[in-house]
Structure 1
Amino acid sequence: MLIEHQIQQQQLIMYLIILVGALLLDLCVGEYPTRLHPTVWIGRVISLFKSRLKHGSKVREYVNGLIFAVALVVVVYLLAYNALSILEANSIAMMIIASILLLKSTFAIRAMEEHANVVINSLMRNDIAGARYSVSMIVGRDTSSLDEEHILSATIESIGESTVDGITAPLFYYALFGVAGALAYRAINTLDSMLGYRDEYHRHIGYASAKLDTIANYIPARLTALAMILAAWMLGLDWRNAVRIMLRDRHKTPSINSGYPMSVVAGALRVRLEKIGYYRLGDGIEAITFEHCRLALRVMKLSSMLFIASVVLPLLIVHALL
């Protein structure tokens, strides 16, 4: 019994070292170079097979998309799991280092802040063209005609949504299934970002990818929204309005998940977030400014830490005990 308890303690310590190491690495170095980024490698595989998923039959395209999406996620998980298992059998230290490097690749706190600050700095220099280009790097919409208000809105929307798919969700799956689980989630999210569109070309081949992403983000999105409300309270923002706007506007976005964090941010900041022709979140009690973007980044960072403390750490403890 004592030996089993010691093993569980060692397992938990290892999980925590990997988590803390990955967080520190992200804060220190930000994103990896493109050629070294596992998500980029996954994206290249998707690009390689994308055209091969097309077929004259819609049913065949649905089937092709489903088989490819599931196969890619399973292969990513198994490759990571087996590679780390081999390393662990030879060197615990090397396995931990590899795990830290891989886990860091699945989330991006510093990079999101850097992207947002580039947009803000461009607007502060009255470089509207530069701001439009910079915001196009973090949102999936046409930014060529956006005014300052909608550039700031798009930036804050991206901060809210990316808190889930760029931070809390991969860490949630790390807590449940280890580093391989976090990489599998990143594969699902990358599939959705590359195939999960509703235009004629992608509608059928990307259907399964979009649904997998919706399922994977369902719980993290709602837990993150709760963490954001707590963060808003701790930062002295309008947390009551955040709750009200979330309950009212969470279903206005096409995604059943992204509306949660984005509507909470809109309510907490007392601004209106708008994707022209698609949705409006919040009442616009205050005119949107650079400061609201900075506050959104503070909400992102604090809610991520709260999520780790209240969700990830308890799950890691349970994981270590099983």
Structure 2
Amino acid sequence: MIVESILLVFFALVLDFVFGDPRNKFHPTAWIGSLIAKLTPYAKNSSKTFEKLGGVFIILISSGIVLSLIIFLDIGIKLITFGYMQIIISVIVGSILLKTTIAIKGMEKHAFAVITALEQNNISSARDNLSKIVKRNTKDLDKNHVYSGVLESISENTVDGITGPLFYFAILGLPGAFVYRVINTADSMIGYKTDIFKNIGWFGANCDKFLNYIPSRLTGFIMILSAMILGNNWRKSYEIMIRDGKKTSSPNAGYPMAAIAGALEAKFEKIDHYSLGDGDILFTKDHVKSVISIMKVTSILFCGIVSIPIICVLSYLGWWIHV
């Protein structure tokens, strides 16, 4: 069980590094997003209590459907395969499924869509592309604040799209990774403090805060180690993470972002919300390349330092037999 689980993590990372994300019509996370979008109108009501309960049911129904599909798939594999063939098929299918919960190459693709537009001096297109990966109004951002938004997004989404799913896979297997993805997707879609979503998205947003509490801090520390390996300023990374990690409205997002800001010896800024790091808000494409490298090294180190040891310990304790 230990070897199969570790192989599953390894192959999932390889698949993502090589192939990236499938098109939305073949992507389970996109299906989850579509399901949440379909359920959300039913939760809308003039009653605050109704909307909050509706938000709870959005998470429960979405998670229940996802878990049911995983269970049925597992039963199906066990019914039609035996012995070593069952192990091989389970690892292959599991690797593909786990891969769909992480987005290393996908994040890189989104980041470079913004950077390419900036290099072409198309600030309008850059702002539009940035709006797809950040929760902020991008229409009036200058070039350096667009760069800052990209760098912040890569930093924060290293948790949401990589280390978070890997952390919960290590504890709860594919069900853990996918329920995490349901909650994280719900937070990105309806976890806003606007009049429309503040009640409906309340439960998902708070679940997301709870689930990311440990992964975000672990990721921040591993980013410091990645900065050391890659020759960035790891001492500054540690200093800024400790100093500025709590400055964001989110209790979690500030840690990876501050760690990256320190590693770059730069300042990230979301206007009227927070400022992380020291120095000027002055960025180039090289900063983006550097952060993408940190993201990739962090992904690998997180597996080796966090996910695989957790799998080994829980397997030794017998937990992974049930997972």
Work out whether residues 268 and 281 of structure 2, in 8 Å CA contact, stay in contact via their aligned partners in 1: no
Q: Letter of the aligned partner of 2:149 in structure 1?
A: A
- Deviation of 1:145 after TM superposition, in Å, equals 1.8
Could you tell me which residue of structure 1 aligns to residue 137 of structure 2? 142
Identity %: 41
Could you tell me which residue of structure 2 aligns to residue 176 of structure 1? 171
- Deviation of 1:102 after TM superposition, in Å, equals 0.9
- Deviation of 1:54 after TM superposition, in Å, equals 1.6
Correspondence 1:231 to 2:221: no
- Name the SS of the counterpart of 1:311 in structure 2: helix
Quick one: distance in 2 between partners of 1:144 and 1:287? Answer: 19
Q: Letter of the aligned partner of 1:282 in structure 2?
A: G
* TM-score normalised by length of structure 1: 0.92
| Residues 115-164 of structure 1: CA deviation (Å, up to 9, x unaligned) | 21222222222222222222222112222221110011000000100110
- Deviation of 1:286 after TM superposition, in Å, equals 7.2
- Deviation of 1:285 after TM superposition, in Å, equals 5.2
Could you tell me which residue of structure 1 aligns to residue 265 of structure 2? 270
Work out whether residues 144 and 281 of structure 2, in 8 Å CA contact, stay in contact via their aligned partners in 1: no
Could you tell me which residue of structure 1 aligns to residue 289 of structure 2? 294
Could you tell me which residue of structure 2 aligns to residue 17 of structure 1? 7
Could you tell me which residue of structure 2 aligns to residue 32 of structure 1? 22
| Residues 206-258 of structure 1: CA deviation (Å, up to 9, x unaligned) | 10000111111111001000100111111221112112211221122111010
Which among 277, 284, 300 is matched to residue 282 of structure 1?
A: 277
Quick one: distance in 1 between partners of 2:307 and 2:147? Answer: 31
Could you tell me which residue of structure 2 aligns to residue 81 of structure 1? 71
Correspondence 1:256 to 2:246: no
Work out whether residues 40 and 58 of structure 2, in 8 Å CA contact, stay in contact via their aligned partners in 1: no
Quick one: distance in 2 between partners of 1:262 and 1:162? Answer: 10
Which among 112, 120, 128 is matched to residue 123 of structure 2?
A: 128
The 1:286/1:43 distance shift into structure 2, 3 A limit, reads: closer
Q: Letter of the aligned partner of 2:39 in structure 1?
A: F
Could you tell me which residue of structure 2 aligns to residue 5 of structure 1? none
Q: Letter of the aligned partner of 1:235 in structure 2?
A: L
Quick one: distance in 2 between partners of 1:285 and 1:270? Answer: 9
- Name the SS of the counterpart of 2:255 in structure 1: helix
Quick check: 303-312 or 284-293, which moved more? 284-293
Quick one: distance in 1 between partners of 2:282 and 2:50? Answer: 49
Quick one: distance in 1 between partners of 2:98 and 2:264? Answer: 31
- Deviation of 1:83 after TM superposition, in Å, equals 1.8
Quick one: distance in 1 between partners of 2:64 and 2:243? Answer: 37
Quick check: 80-89 or 16-25, which moved more? 80-89
Quick one: distance in 1 between partners of 2:122 and 2:214? Answer: 39
Quick one: distance in 2 between partners of 1:308 and 1:20? Answer: 8
Quick one: distance in 2 between partners of 1:90 and 1:181? Answer: 25
Could you tell me which residue of structure 1 aligns to residue 59 of structure 2? 69
Quick one: distance in 2 between partners of 1:69 and 1:226? Answer: 30
| Residues 162-207 of structure 1: CA deviation (Å, up to 9, x unaligned) | 1101000101111111112111111110111111110011111110
* TM-score normalised by length of structure 2: 0.92
Give the CA RMSD over aligned residues. Answer: 1.5
Correspondence 1:152 to 2:147: yes
Could you tell me which residue of structure 2 aligns to residue 49 of structure 1? 39
- Name the SS of the counterpart of 1:25 in structure 2: helix
The 1:56/1:133 distance shift into structure 2, 3 A limit, reads: closer
Work out whether residues 242 and 263 of structure 1, in 8 Å CA contact, stay in contact via their aligned partners in 2: yes
Question: Which consecutive residues of structure 2, in runs of 5 or more, have no partner in the other structure?
Answer: 319-323
- Deviation of 1:278 after TM superposition, in Å, equals 1.2
Quick one: distance in 2 between partners of 1:82 and 1:249? Answer: 45
Which among 98, 101, 112 is matched to residue 96 of structure 2?
A: 101
Could you tell me which residue of structure 2 aligns to residue 191 of structure 1? 186
The aligned runs of 1:101-120 (5 Å cut-off) are 101-120=96-115
Which among 235, 241, 255 is matched to residue 246 of structure 1?
A: 241
- Name the SS of the counterpart of 2:10 in structure 1: helix
Q: Letter of the aligned partner of 1:88 in structure 2?
A: K
- Name the SS of the counterpart of 1:49 in structure 2: helix
Q: Letter of the aligned partner of 1:16 in structure 2?
A: I
Q: Letter of the aligned partner of 1:53 in structure 2?
A: A
Quick one: distance in 1 between partners of 2:61 and 2:192? Answer: 20
Quick one: distance in 1 between partners of 2:282 and 2:196? Answer: 39
Q: Letter of the aligned partner of 1:177 in structure 2?
A: L
